[in-house]
């Protein structure tokens, strides 16, 4: 079955510390991979995506993610977290033929301590 | 340029009622997808329409239906509401289906509460 697992439901980091959010997926073929961020009461904003090529992808707001095929993972990282990064983060996968039907993980809530 | 717009933003219904949610995609976008996000969970795919044809349906009961109009706007209808239908309903649009044209842009959602 196709699925996305975000093992960490809630993470707290101090401002200025590094961050890594984990994402593992189960999919029949190599999918397209996405990370979205959602602030309270808001829709989803795309942080970054992996389609092909370089397995380390750069996104907005200083985020990056690394696709590891052997581990079926697509972890999100940021070297130095800012208070404004506090939000909910979702990993998602989609078919290469149609990315309108995404499968999302349950999300990781990031709290940033001053 | 306007992003994806959804209406209403909030609504309260009682069990058994029917609801219609509306979505206007980004200008030029021909694909609209609907997602349900229950509190504390990730969004779940409900429907996708492209060029006014249904291109996908998630694992939702027949109480859920949708359509896309000639101007590419879309409506999601839910009949015989249940308490479990309480959720944030997200609409997303894209210019195409795959690759970079398939990138989804999400609206801010319609928050439905069923009492």
Q: Is A83 on the interface with B (CB under 8 A)?
A: no
Residue A19 confidence (pLDDT) above 70: yes
Q: Is B51 on the interface with A (CB under 8 A)?
A: no
Q: How confident is the model at residue A26 (pLDDT cuts 50, 70, 90)?
A: very high
Mean pLDDT of B33-41: 95
Rounded distance between C-alpha atoms, residue A25 and residue B98, angstroms = 20
Rounded distance between C-alpha atoms, residue A55 and residue B49, angstroms = 31
Rounded distance between C-alpha atoms, residue A60 and residue A74, angstroms = 16
For A82-107, what is each residue's pLDDT tens digit?
999 999 999 999 988 888 889 999 99
Q: What is the dihedral of CA A74, A75, A80, A83, to 10 degrees?
A: 100
Tell which residue, A114, A102, A61, has the closest CA to residue B92.
Answer: A102
For B96-113, what is each residue's pLDDT tens digit?
877 777 889 999 999 999
Q: Answer whether B48 sits within 8 Å of A100, measured CB to CB.
A: yes
Q: Is B114 on the interface with A (CB under 8 A)?
A: no
């Amino acid at each position: 079955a196709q699925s996305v697992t975000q093992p960490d439901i809630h993470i707290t980091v101090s401002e200025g510390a590094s961050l890594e959010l984990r994402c593992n997926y189960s999919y029949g073929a190599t999918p397209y991979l996405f990370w979205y961020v959602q602030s309270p009461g808001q829709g989803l904003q795309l942080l970054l995506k992996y389609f092909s090529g370089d397995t380390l992808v750069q996104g907005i707001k200083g985020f990056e993610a690394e696709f590891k095929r052997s581990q079926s993972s697509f972890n999100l990282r940021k070297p130095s977290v800012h208070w404004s990064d506090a939000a909910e983060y979702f990993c998602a996968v989609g078919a290469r033929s149609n990315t309108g039907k995404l499968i999302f993980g349950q999300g990781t809530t990031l709290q940033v301590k001053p | 340029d306007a992003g994806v717009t959804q209406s209403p933003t909030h609504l309260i219904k009682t069990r058994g009622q029917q609801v219609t949610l509306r979505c206007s995609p980004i200008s030029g976008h021909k694909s609209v997808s609907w997602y349900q996000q229950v509190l504390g969970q990730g969004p779940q795919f409900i429907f996708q329409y492209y060029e006014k044809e249904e291109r996908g349906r998630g694992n939702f009961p027949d109480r859920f239906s949708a359509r896309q109009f000639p101007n590419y706007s879309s409506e999601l209808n839910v009949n015989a509401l249940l308490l479990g239908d309480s959720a944030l309903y997200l609409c997303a649009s894209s210019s195409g289906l795959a690759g970079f044209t398939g990138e989804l842009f999400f609206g801010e959602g319609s928050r439905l509460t069923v009492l």
